[in-house]
Structures are given as C-alpha cells and as structure tokens.
C-alpha cells in the first residue's frame, strides 16, 4: 500500500471529546457528548446502544456526513490527520478512498437509476481520475462483486439495484466500500434490515472484506449477538456517551455498568435450556434536549444511589490493565454481585454468571407459564385449526387484456393447530408466507384451498353475523406500533372503538378502559392522551390493550416486538407472557426472531417457501432440530456470548429465498440445502422428485425432510 508509513501504535481513528448537537424546536439536542475512542489498525470495534444513543451520529461525524446544521466540536484524527474542520472537497478525497462506510438499509442505499456495476466503478473513478480507465474500473467492479459473493458477477454488474435482493444490495454496498482498499470501514447496522440467514452471509462477507483490506472496522449495532462474534473491543453508548468499553469477552462476562448488565439480561436466549427471566429496563432513555444532572441512566437504574444524581460519572478503568472502563460509581458492588452469582453458576467461560447477576440486580422473575392448572395438551379444546391451507396469487400481465402468466405459491398446504392456553410461534425468513397465513386466518373468508377452523367453527360456513361474532374472539396486534394507532384519536377512543363496533353499552366501555390500561401497565389518566405522546413500547402496550378490549380467546401477534429496542422489548414480552397466564389466552405469534419465539412460545412451526418444514414443542425443535433449514436458521443467529459464539460452527446458506412464483420441484429447500449436496446421487434424486411430507419424529415433533438427521447447532 502506498501513502505515509505510520507507526504501529498510531491508531487508525482517534476520536477525542467529540460532541455533536443539533438545533431543534424543543431546544438543542445533544446527540453526542464528550465521546472518545480509538480504533487500531485491523481492529474491530463494536459500538452498541439503543436508538438515540448517538452511535450513528458519532460515525456520521467521522465521515463528515452530518447535515450542515449540526454543531461538532472535539477532535477526530484519522491516521494522525485532523478531519474536523476540513472542507467538503478535502473530505471527499478521504471518503471512499481511506475511510469507507456501509449503511443500514441496503434497499435505499443505492441510486435506483444507475446500474450496480456503474455505481461501484464510480467509487474507483472518482478517486483515480486519469489513473484508471472507465473500462478498467468496470472490470474491477465485476471482480469486487465476485469477491463479495455475487454469482455471475459480470452479468449482474449490468443490473439495476431493484433487480437485486436486499442481501445482494448490501454485498454491493460492501463491494463499493472496499473498492479503494480503505484503512477504516464504518458499518452502521449493516445487517439490521436483513433476514438472519442473509445476516450471517453478510457478516461473513464483512470478515472477508477485512481480511482482504486489513482495515480497521467500526461496527455499529443494537444487536449484542452480532458484536459478540465479530468485534475485538466493545463500546456501549447511552444518551450520547460511552458508558462502558473493553475487550468483548470481558464486557460480556463482567459488565461493570448496570446498563450493559441490563441489556445482556434483556435478551431472550436461543441457547437457554430452561426458561430464564427476561430483564426489563424500566422507563425510557432520557430526552437529549435537557438532560438532568447526574448519571443519565440513574432514573432507570435499580442500583442508583444519591451519588448517581449529583454528577455524571466519568469513564474510568475498572481493571488493573486499564483496558476495561465503565462510567458508574457502583462498579465495585456490581463486581461483588457477579462474584456471588459466579459461586452459584460456577466459573465457566460463558457469561451465565453475568446474566444471573442481571436478573438479581434488576429483580426480574420468570413469568410462570403454567400458573393456571392446565389439562394435558390433548385434552384441551382447539382454538385454531389450519388444515392444508393454500393461497395462490395470480401473476397477471397487460392492462386491457389481462392474462395470467404465472402463480405465486404464497402458502402451499400449511397445517397446524393451537390449543387453548398455548402459544404457537410461526417463524421463517421474509417471503416464506407467514404473513399470508396470518392474513388468511384473520380474514375469516373461505380460503382458496384447505380449511380454517376458529374455535371449532369452519370459516367457510360462516355468514356475516357469525363472522362478526368470531372476530370478537380473535384479535390482532400489529408489528409497527407507530403506524397502527390513528394519530388523531385519544387512547380512550382507540380502546373504546372495538367495543362500540360490537355494540357494548357505554357504561361498560367507560369502566373497561381504565381496566385495560391497568392490565398493560399504563395509567388510567393516559386515556385522554394522543398516540404521539407515547413511546414505541407504550404504544405497543396500547395495541395489546385494544386487542384485549373484547376479551378474545385467541390473539394473533404479527412481529409484535420487532420494532422495539431490546430493553423495551423485554418488558413487552414479559407482559404478553403474563397476560397469557392471567387471561388464559392462546397466541399465534409470528416472528422472524427465533430467540424471542424460543422464549415465549410453547410450540413452534418453521416455514419455508409456503410450507411448514418442521413443527413441534420449542424444546424439541430448538434442542434437537432435524430439518436442515431449521438447523441453518438456528445456526445463523448470533449468540450474545463471545466465548460460545466464537466456538460455534456456522452453517451459511447460499443465495436467497427462491421466488415463490417458481418454487423448486420436490423439496423446496433443496436448492439451498447443505445436506442435499452431501447425499449420494440416488438420494438426491428423491429430493428433486418427491416433495417430502411431514413425518413424526417422536413426541409432538414433525419434520418434512426425507433425510432428517440431528445436528448440534446452538
């Protein structure tokens, strides 16, 4: 590599006392306050924190990509050169050549009107004027696409972004980032918008990119699992400041700041063998407009004492080596709690002790799923039965003369049932048909194939009146709490509406609203407020209260926590758990996050391309997955435990989900199956020719694979 020779101890990036503020109508927003960190050559620094913690803003400040109204002070040195105060033209020479960035949303990160190849070549041409010809840049772009794992790179380079899937677009963005062999790559939530299997692929590509370029990497994420396996060091941010930094393994095993501890405890664990309590962190992150004096986490911290409210603690070393820093006045007490937990758990390499300490500090409890005396599953009534459900969408062409040119097999023979008091988790990648299944169930109209039976009533026999009555017993909670409440309706009206529709009398409704608010942990006086006054977590609670207004027997939950920050998510999951026990509800829980499903569900159904490939109790499916797809899915999920995470062998699925308009013959998963490729010729023919049916493997466990076999994946 050319350029000035740097001393080995000169960090690639050194940020000192960085502060970023924005003017807003409410006052000055202090997005980043006194942030200092350094990234060494080839080092991977993870920055973790919830939305609004300042993690993205601080990285955009490094790139000089903040909007002009941002006020930035402090120092940002890149290989010894001060970046702050450079003009746009000077910065443009560094951006993309020596510092590159990968953004969160690959769907919008590429300009829709230029081909992918042109956009990658542009990164080369803009920095290599006169030194690289157009043709050479185009050829190099193809090489780069090949490097990041795009098949048929030469052809695909001529495609436009809309012809690429999300995962492929993120690969293209990474190709762009590594085009000029940068010394630093900043990746801002690079996998958040992607499915887990694709996330695993993209993380793998990022690792390759680092090996090829030897660059330092800053990876920003809210997912403590992603950093556990990838980063060398971790910095946790809260309210615009670093609250804890250190080597990854150490921070996960001995967190010395209650916030980090809470974050770790709030994650549902895929590797849990028994149901562990989820730690909810009460309250909301503080407003960054007028921060109170003292530790910004103090109002949410179970360990807060008077000293915490007096002054904001500085980041100070908590170990003898001076590598682990935390900003907390009570680190010593935390260490003691952990030591005690370690005695119970036993000292091992995992971070079980830290989780145990979190549970203790935050006083979390396992919500007892079996508090009610439930009869054995077989004796309980069935609340929802879906039998060989089929939903096909026609693909039409032409406006005047419509003609059918194909069929999208969105759902193709899905069967499951939910018994009273039971939660079924329906999981799979986007496009697998889980939402279609849910919409068919909610629609209460005769399906195009198969049968749906709600509370013992076949929906195809329902007339208008009966359908309305059934609706009362089946309610829904939507994914996006921001969009699912009418912003012009006070909460009281939102809750009253379903009851009015079903003709309940006014007196009953008036009494019911405070009850409902109380049920979901809100206060009765909230009824007069508008949705805009609530945070995401609170709005989702309102959504749940609305669903409960009619005292339904079955709740259909469509990704109810995926839009929420982890610390908030834990509280909502606990609430759902508790409501199920108290009200005897049954849930159909649709999610892509398998950890959440493992925590909340009793049974789980894994969907792939419109079919259920594996179904059974959570413990059997997660403990002993038999279908290769389930195995791959589970293996793709990063564990928030650096030691375990680094020891795991990961199954990386190749490619994307095939189009449901043209599903593969025989077993639909065979095109991406790692098992299929290892089979002898005769067995492979069976995968191609014969669609596997669901076959029982022991108690309540069915797998649709001709060659199902055990594999350790978690």
- Report the DSSP pairing between strands 27-39 and 13-24: antiparallel
Instruction: Specify the 3-state DSSP secondary structure of 121.
Output: helix
Instruction: Specify the 3-state DSSP secondary structure of 521.
Output: coil
Read off the tokens for 192.
């958040």
Query: Which residues lie below 8 Å from residue 152, measured CB to CB, with a gap of 6+?
Result: none
Given the complex with other proteins, which of 65 and 506 has the nearer CB atom? 65
Q: How far is the CB of 162 from other proteins (least distance, A)?
A: 5
Task: Name residue 242's beta-bridge partners.
Answer: 237
Given the complex with other proteins, which of 175 and 615 has the nearer CB atom? 175
* Nearest residue to 451 via CA among 527, 371, 388, 542: 388
Given the complex with other proteins, which of 111 and 500 has the nearer CB atom? 111
Given the complex with other proteins, which of 122 and 387 has the nearer CB atom? 122
Given the complex with other proteins, which of 106 and 265 has the nearer CB atom? 106
Run of H or E residues at 537: helix 536-548
Given the complex with other proteins, which of 97 and 546 has the nearer CB atom? 97
**Residue at token pair 């017993």:** 473
Task: Name residue 423's beta-bridge partners.
Answer: 587
Helix 352-362, helix 331-345: angle, nearest 10: 120
Q: How far is the CB of 191 from other proteins (least distance, A)?
A: 16
Read off the tokens for 588.
């159909």
Q: How far is the CB of 124 from other proteins (least distance, A)?
A: 9
d(CA 287, CA 533) in angstroms, rounded, equals 13
Q: How far is the CB of 182 from other proteins (least distance, A)?
A: 10
Read off the tokens for 268.
């549902």
Q: How many residues does the chain have?
A: 714
Q: How far is the CB of 628 from other proteins (least distance, A)?
A: 35
Q: How far is the CB of 400 from other proteins (least distance, A)?
A: 8
In terms of Cβ atoms closer than 10 Å to its own Cβ (0-12, 13-18, 19+), residue 611 is buried
Q: How far is the CB of 488 from other proteins (least distance, A)?
A: 24
Q: What is the largest CA-CA distance in the chain?
A: 80
Q: How far is the CB of 101 from other proteins (least distance, A)?
A: 4
DSSP string, 36-84: EEEE-TT-EEEEE--TTSSHHHHHHHHHT-S-TT-EEEEEEEETTEE-T
Query: Which residues make up the interface to other proteins (CB under 8 A)?
Result: 63, 65, 88-89, 92-97, 100-101, 103, 105, 108-115, 122-123, 126-127, 160, 162, 173, 176-177, 180, 400
Q: How far is the CB of 152 from other proteins (least distance, A)?
A: 19
Given the complex with other proteins, which of 205 and 414 has the nearer CB atom? 205
Read off the tokens for 628.
């290769």
Given the complex with other proteins, which of 109 and 418 has the nearer CB atom? 109
Q: How far is the CB of 390 from other proteins (least distance, A)?
A: 29
Q: How far is the CB of 107 from other proteins (least distance, A)?
A: 9
Q: How far is the CB of 559 from other proteins (least distance, A)?
A: 23
Given the complex with other proteins, which of 32 and 177 has the nearer CB atom? 177
Helical spans, DSSP H, in 363-460: 434-443
Given the complex with other proteins, which of 180 and 671 has the nearer CB atom? 180
What is the sign of the dihedral through the CA atoms of 339, 345, 350 and 356? Answer: negative
Q: How far is the CB of 398 from other proteins (least distance, A)?
A: 9
Given the complex with other proteins, which of 213 and 574 has the nearer CB atom? 213
Run of H or E residues at 19: strand 13-24
Given the complex with other proteins, which of 81 and 647 has the nearer CB atom? 81
Residue 640: CA count within 13 A, CB half-sphere: 27
Q: How far is the CB of 62 from other proteins (least distance, A)?
A: 11
Given the complex with other proteins, which of 126 and 661 has the nearer CB atom? 126
Read off the tokens for 151.
């098949």
Q: How far is the CB of 135 from other proteins (least distance, A)?
A: 19
How many C-beta neighbours within 10 Å does residue 460 have?
13
Run of H or E residues at 335: helix 331-345
d(CA 617, CA 275) in angstroms, rounded, equals 14
In terms of Cβ atoms closer than 10 Å to its own Cβ (0-12, 13-18, 19+), residue 456 is exposed
Task: Name residue 394's beta-bridge partners.
Answer: 407
d(CA 316, CA 125) in angstroms, rounded, equals 45
Q: How far is the CB of 127 from other proteins (least distance, A)?
A: 5
Residue 673: CA count within 13 A, CB half-sphere: 26
Any idea what DSSP says for residue 95?
B
Query: Which residues lie below 8 Å from residue 479, measured CB to CB, with a gap of 6+?
Result: 558, 559, 560, 562, 563
Helical spans, DSSP H, in 128-235: 134-147, 153-156, 166-178, 196-213, 224-230
Given the complex with other proteins, which of 216 and 521 has the nearer CB atom? 216
d(CA 33, CA 54) in angstroms, rounded, equals 9
Given the complex with other proteins, which of 162 and 508 has the nearer CB atom? 162
**Residue at token pair 């809210």:** 222
Read off the tokens for 42.
């080839």
Given the complex with other proteins, which of 132 and 272 has the nearer CB atom? 132
């Amino acid at each position: 590599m050319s350029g000035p020779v740097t001393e080995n101890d000169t960090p690639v990036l050194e940020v000192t006392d960085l502060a970023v503020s924005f003017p807003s109508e409410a006052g000055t927003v202090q997005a980043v306050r006194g942030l200092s960190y350094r990234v060494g050559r080839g080092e991977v620094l993870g920055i973790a924190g919830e939305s609004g913690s300042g993690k993205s803003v601080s990285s955009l400040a490094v790139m000089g990509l903040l909007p002009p109204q941002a006020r930035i002070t402090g120092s940002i040195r890149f290989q010894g050169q001060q970046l702050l105060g450079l003009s746009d033209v000077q910065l443009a020479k560094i951006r993309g050549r020596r510092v590159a960035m990968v953004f969160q949303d690959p769907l919008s990160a590429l300009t829709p009107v230029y081909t992918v190849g042109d956009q990658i070549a542009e990164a080369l041409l803009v920095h290599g004027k006169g030194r690289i010809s157009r043709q050479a840049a185009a050829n190099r772009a193809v090489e780069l696409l090949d490097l990041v794992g795009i098949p048929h790179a030469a052809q695909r380079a001529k495609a436009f972004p809309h012809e690429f899937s999300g995962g492929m677009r993120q690969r293209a963005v990474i190709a762009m980032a590594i085009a000029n062999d940068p010394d630093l790559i900043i990746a801002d939530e690079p996998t958040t918008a992607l499915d887990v299997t694709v996330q695993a692929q993209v993380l793998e590509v990022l690792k390759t990119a680092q090996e090829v370029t030897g660059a330092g990497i800053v990876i920003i994420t809210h997912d403590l699992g992603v950093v556990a396996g990838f980063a060398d060091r971790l910095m946790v941010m809260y309210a615009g400041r670093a609250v804890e930094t250190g080597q990854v393994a150490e921070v996960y095993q001995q967190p010395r700041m209650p916030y980090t501890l809470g974050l770790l405890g709030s994650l549902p664990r895929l590797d849990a063998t028994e149901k562990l309590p989820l730690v909810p962190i009460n309250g909301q992150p503080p407003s960054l407009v007028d921060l109170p004096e003292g530790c910004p986490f103090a109002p949410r911290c179970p360990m807060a004492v008077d000293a915490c409210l007096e002054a904001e603690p500085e980041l100070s070393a908590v170990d003898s080596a001076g590598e682990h820093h935390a900003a907390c006045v009570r680190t010593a007490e935390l260490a003691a709690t952990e030591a005690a937990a370690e005695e119970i758990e036993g000292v091992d390499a995992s971070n079980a002790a830290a989780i145990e300490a979190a549970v203790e500090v935050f006083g979390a409890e396992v919500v007892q799923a079996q508090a009610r005396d439930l009869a054995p599953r077989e004796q309980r009534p069935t609340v929802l039965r879906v039998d060989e459900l089929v939903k096909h969408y026609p693909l039409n062409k032409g406006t005047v003369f419509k003609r059918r040119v194909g069929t999208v097999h969105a759902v193709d023979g899905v069967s499951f049932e939910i018994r009273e008091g039971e939660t079924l988790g329906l999981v799979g990648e986007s496009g697998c048909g889980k939402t279609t299944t849910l919409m068919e169930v909610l629609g209460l109209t005769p399906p195009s194939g198969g049968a749906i039976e709600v509370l013992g009533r076949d929906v195809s026999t329902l007339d208008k009146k009966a359908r309305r009555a059934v609706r009362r017993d089946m309610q829904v909670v939507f994914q996006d709490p921001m969009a699912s409440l009418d912003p012009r309706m006070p909460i009281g009206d939102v809750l009253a509406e379903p009851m009015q529709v079903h003709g309940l009398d006014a007196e009953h409704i008036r009494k019911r609203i405070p009850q409902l608010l109380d049920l979901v942990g809100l206060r009765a006086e909230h009824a007069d407020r508008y949705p805009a006054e609530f945070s995401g977590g609170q709005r989702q609670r309102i959504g749940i209260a609305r669903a409960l207004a009619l005292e339904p027997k079955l709740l259909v939950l469509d990704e109810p926590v995926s839009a929420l920050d982890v610390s908030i998510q834990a509280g909502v999951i606990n609430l759902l758990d508790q409501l199920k026990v108290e009200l005897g509800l049954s849930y159909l829980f649709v999610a892509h996050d398998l950890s959440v499903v493992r925590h909340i569900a009793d049974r789980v159904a894994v969907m792939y391309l419109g079919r259920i490939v594996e179904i059974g109790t959570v413990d059997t499916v997660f403990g002993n997955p038999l279908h290769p797809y389930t195995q791959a899915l589970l293996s793709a999920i990063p564990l928030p435990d650096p030691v375990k995470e680094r020891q795991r062998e990961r199954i990386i699925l190749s490619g994307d989900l095939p189009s449901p308009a043209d599903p593969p013959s025989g077993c639909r998963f065979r095109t991406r199956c790692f098992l299929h490729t290892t089979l002898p010729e005769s067995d492979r023919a069976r995968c191609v020719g014969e669609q596997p049916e669901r076959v029982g493997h022991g108690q309540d466990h069915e797998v649709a694979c001709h060659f199902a076999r055990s594999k350790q994946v978690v």
